[in-house]
């Protein structure tokens, strides 16, 4: 798992930034933590993934989890939706389109 250099945070996640990252490094995700990632399907913009997914054995066996790029962190499902809305609004205002990779300046 990689993290976007200008990571987005929901309000509650921002308050607990250090604690969240400490848990992520230990693979001890909090049940109310949601990660906003680049979509696994190129037809979509972003995925919202409950941190609980990362605790499941099948995920730990996957080899492609290093390919996941986290662009945002939220505390709670409602905050994750709001954070995605903020990212998409900011992107559209800046570019007038929905090219998330260009907006985040991600190559390839």
End-to-end CA distance of the chain: 17
Measured between alpha carbons, how far is 98 from 20 in angstroms, rounded to an integer?
Answer: 29
Measured between alpha carbons, how far is 104 from 108 in angstroms, rounded to an integer?
Answer: 12
Q: 4-46 pLDDT, tens per residue?
A: 999 999 999 999 999 988 888 787 778 899 999 999 898 999 9
Residue identified by tokens 């001890």 is 28
Cα dihedral 18, 59, 63, 26 sign? positive
**Mean pLDDT comparison of 9-23, 51-65, 72-86, highest-scoring range:** 72-86
């Amino acid at each position: 798992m990689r993290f976007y250099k200008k990571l987005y945070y929901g309000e509650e996640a921002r308050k607990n930034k250090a604690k969240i990252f400490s848990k992520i490094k230990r693979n001890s995700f909090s049940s109310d933590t949601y990660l906003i990632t680049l979509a696994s399907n190129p037809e979509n913009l972003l995925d919202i993934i409950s941190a609980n997914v990362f605790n499941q054995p099948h995920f730990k066996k996957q080899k492609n989890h290093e390919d996941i790029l986290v662009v945002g962190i939220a505390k709670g499902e409602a905050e994750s939706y709001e954070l995605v809305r903020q990212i998409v609004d900011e992107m559209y205002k800046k570019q007038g389109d929905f090219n998330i990779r260009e907006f985040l300046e991600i190559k390839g």
